[in-house]
Amino acid sequence: MKYRLMVLLVALTGAAAALPSWWGTRGLNRVVDARTVGAGKFNIGLFTHLGISGDERTAVINNTQTEITNTEYDGTGYIVTGFGLGRSFELGISVNYLVNQMKRASESAEISGDWEGDDGFSEATASLKWNFNPSSNSVWFGIMPWVSFAIHDGGYSSCVVNGDGWDGIWVADECMYELRRPMINAGSLSYGANLLTTFNLNPAALHVNLGYHKFNQSFEYTDLRYDINHQVTATEAVDMEVEDAVLYAGGGIEYPIGQTTLFVEAEWRHFLDRNFDNGDGEDYDDMIQIAPGIRFNNDGLAIDVTGSFALSDFSPDWSDMGHGLYQAGGSPTVEDRANRAPFPRGYFPQMGVGIGLSYTGTFRNPPAEIGGRIYDSETGEALSGTVSASRDGVDPVNTAQNGTYAMEAPKGRITLTGSAEGYLPVSETVDLASGGTYQVDFPLSRIETSGVVSGTVTDVATGLPLDALVSSGSIRAETGPDGTYSIELPSGNRNLTASASAYGSESAVVAVPAGGTAVHDFQLGLVVDFDKVYFDLDSSVLRRDAKGALDEIAAFLLANPGVSVTITGNTCDLGAEDYNQALAERRAEAVRSYLISKGVSQSRLQTVSYGESRPAAPNTDEEHRALNRRAEFVILGR
């Protein structure tokens, strides 16, 4: 049997990387992992991020234009959850809450109030991730469509409103569009899709996201033109919608160190429908930021600490809905105002800090994930074949062009069989744990000529059928409910072995006819849990400690006259094979003679010499070899 943990991203990446992003699906914070959280698993998380930006603005104070620097604090909370829908699908849900506060510069008593802002639930986003893994565990690809709905209930407007009187920039009840994030939400309905790629750099992982996003913001307000005394001199009703198509690129790399993961993310957004040309070479239709972070993870519970730094500039003049043009006496068109509309979800803040708390758990026993490949055992060439399972409810799967396959199965023992046309099938038995990941490969040998061996495996004492495994090298077959088996083997003399749990094994050389069928039945005896009898090196003399165990065995046999046993003699691997065969026979005979001397009928005692062919432990050192110098007992009848 061959099974090994499938590059679990070396246990280092696994635990931290399976936690949620701000989307609710598996990822870092902003950037999404192409892998899913896993079948039967879920994520929950609470993330917060506070952006801090100091922006210069021109204020009119005491009828004089003055350059001041206000500080904008925009805080966002993300309540997220994600669910693994099978091994290739994941559903993510995120609900956002926004708090936006501006701290006014203290330039004059004419500026009313120190703080202005708004808060409220912003948007609810649902995303569905689908992924596939074409090259074992080196790269994953995926796609994640998403849709967002505005859930803000902020009264008559979803913008941040100046609630006080004149503050040098805004009059009372005016939307403060010149903020970096003046809108509580990004419009009534937004949607898009991201293409996802994750590379296993072992132990690091690299994530790349490319997307196309669509936003639709509605604006209904009255633009005001006022004089130096802050008196309104003209008004213009504005009722319009602004559509924005956005190209998105995000990347992140994570590097685990024990239960800590270091990561850094980068984001770029390009607004396709904006024409930001200031005439001085400055464009404001792109946003770029980087965000380093550290994740502390323990048994699925994680704490994230992050920072962010904007690499792109922000100009309030290009986020005022055309008010600057109107205030200067112009008549801005719908296109002018749309070109100067606030960016959906705002500009990146100059800097920011964030804290996140998340957890990954299981809401049901998830299936195990099994993958591997079928290939020619001689050439290594990938084969197009099928992997089938011995368990009901686990459907066979076909391999991809590169010979790889992937399947799921419930926990427990399962026998998998890989087959391909023109090749002998190979079976592997695996003990699966819920949510485990296993790799099982099938190196197949080309069929030259073959035949079939069939028969039964039964209890030697009762004749009842046994649940047994019949094997010849790597070729295996399981018995049916009636104890029958059928196994296809290359023609010629083949060594066939039958074994069953709690029973001994039996081997036989069977002549397999090319194109025909040979019949061979096996009868297995129940292995008695007697103490083993051990011998010194190169000795068949019973040790003193062995005689005590044999006295107990003799008493058992005398008390149960219907029981017959086979005594098996065994050796370690020191010495020639022929010599060890004879030594094992002498050991079995020594045990038999002792039991006869205690009154056990010799007709109830048989001996078999296995020599060095059946070690109880690897012959790697003296301690293990001592365990192989032994005699054991197998029940033949009772």
First to last CA, the chain: 33
Tell me the pLDDT tens digit for each residue of 518-564.
Answer: 999 999 887 766 788 999 999 999 998 898 889 988 998 898 887 88
- Domain interval for residue 473: 448-525
Location of structure tokens 């009059």: 171
Q: Do 341 and 258 fall into the same domain?
A: yes
Q: Do 275 and 371 fall into the same domain?
A: no
Structure tokens at 8: 């679990």
Structure tokens at 626: 């001592």
Could you tell me which residue, 484 or 276, shows the higher pLDDT? 484
Please write down the HEC assignment for all residues of 350-384: CEEEEEEEEEEEECCCCCEEEEEEEEECCCCCECC
Residue 129 one-letter amino acid? K
Q: Do 21 and 169 fall into the same domain?
A: yes
Band (pLDDT 50/70/90 cuts) for residue 460 is confident
Q: What is the pLDDT of residue 432?
A: 92
Q: What is the pLDDT of residue 292?
A: 98
Q: Do 443 and 558 fall into the same domain?
A: no
How many Å apart are CA 534 and CA 525, to the nearest integer? Answer: 22
Band (pLDDT 50/70/90 cuts) for residue 567 is very high
Q: What is the pLDDT of residue 599?
A: 95
Could you tell me which residue, 104 or 271, shows the higher pLDDT? 271
Q: What is the pLDDT of residue 579?
A: 96
Could you tell me which residue, 25 or 408, shows the higher pLDDT? 25
Per DSSP, the three-state class of 550 is helix
Q: Could you tell me if 110 and 103 are in contact, meaning their C-beta atoms sit under 8 angstroms apart?
A: no
How many Å apart are CA 279 and CA 10, to the nearest integer? Answer: 53
- Bridge-based pairing of strands 286-298 and 368-376 is unpaired
DSSP string of 135-169, one letter each residue: STTSEEEEEEEEEEEE----TT-SB-B--SS--SS
| 322 torsion bin: left (phi>0), alpha (psi -120 to 50), beta (else) | left
Q: What is the pLDDT of residue 6?
A: 34
Q: Which residues contact 384 (CB under 8 A, 6 or more apart)?
A: 374, 398, 399, 401, 403, 420
> How many beta carbons lie within 10 A of that of residue 587, not counting itself?
27
Could you tell me which residue, 269 or 368, shows the higher pLDDT? 269
Q: Which of 472, 495, 525 lies at the terminal end of a domain, its last residue?
A: 525
> How many beta carbons lie within 10 A of that of residue 389, not counting itself?
18
Q: Do 194 and 181 fall into the same domain?
A: yes
574 has pLDDT over 90? yes
Q: What is the pLDDT of residue 16?
A: 41
- DSSP code of residue 110: T
Q: Do 186 and 132 fall into the same domain?
A: yes
Q: Which of 318, 333, 362 lies at the terminal end of a domain, its last residue?
A: 362
What is the domain count for the chain? Answer: 4
Per DSSP, the three-state class of 105 is coil
Q: Do 369 and 385 fall into the same domain?
A: yes
Q: Which of 335, 362, 389 lies at the terminal end of a domain, its last residue?
A: 362
Number of alpha carbons in the 13 Å side-chain half-sphere of residue 398: 4
Q: Do 352 and 219 fall into the same domain?
A: yes
Band (pLDDT 50/70/90 cuts) for residue 568 is very high
Tell me the pLDDT tens digit for each residue of 331-343.
Answer: 999 999 999 999 9
471 has pLDDT over 90? yes
Q: What is the pLDDT of residue 261?
A: 95
Q: Do 158 and 295 fall into the same domain?
A: yes
How many Å apart are CA 521 and CA 454, to the nearest integer? Answer: 8
DSSP H helices, 450-576, are: 544-559
Number of alpha carbons in the 13 Å side-chain half-sphere of residue 193: 8
Tell me the pLDDT tens digit for each residue of 66-113.
Answer: 777 888 999 999 999 999 987 789 999 999 998 888 887 765 544 555
Q: What is the pLDDT of residue 29?
A: 95
Q: Do 139 and 227 fall into the same domain?
A: yes
The whole-chain average pLDDT of the chain stands at 87
Range of weakest confidence among 167-181, 302-316, 394-408, 620-634? 167-181
Q: Do 253 and 122 fall into the same domain?
A: yes
Band (pLDDT 50/70/90 cuts) for residue 278 is low
Q: Could you tell me if 378 and 446 are in contact, meaning their C-beta atoms sit under 8 angstroms apart?
A: yes
Q: Do 282 and 196 fall into the same domain?
A: yes
Domain containing 381 — which CATH number?
Answer: 2.60.40.1120
Q: What is the pLDDT of residue 246?
A: 96
Domain containing 593 — which CATH number?
Answer: 3.30.1330.60
Tell me the pLDDT tens digit for each residue of 347-403.
Answer: 999 999 999 999 998 876 778 889 999 999 989 999 999 999 988 778 899 998 889
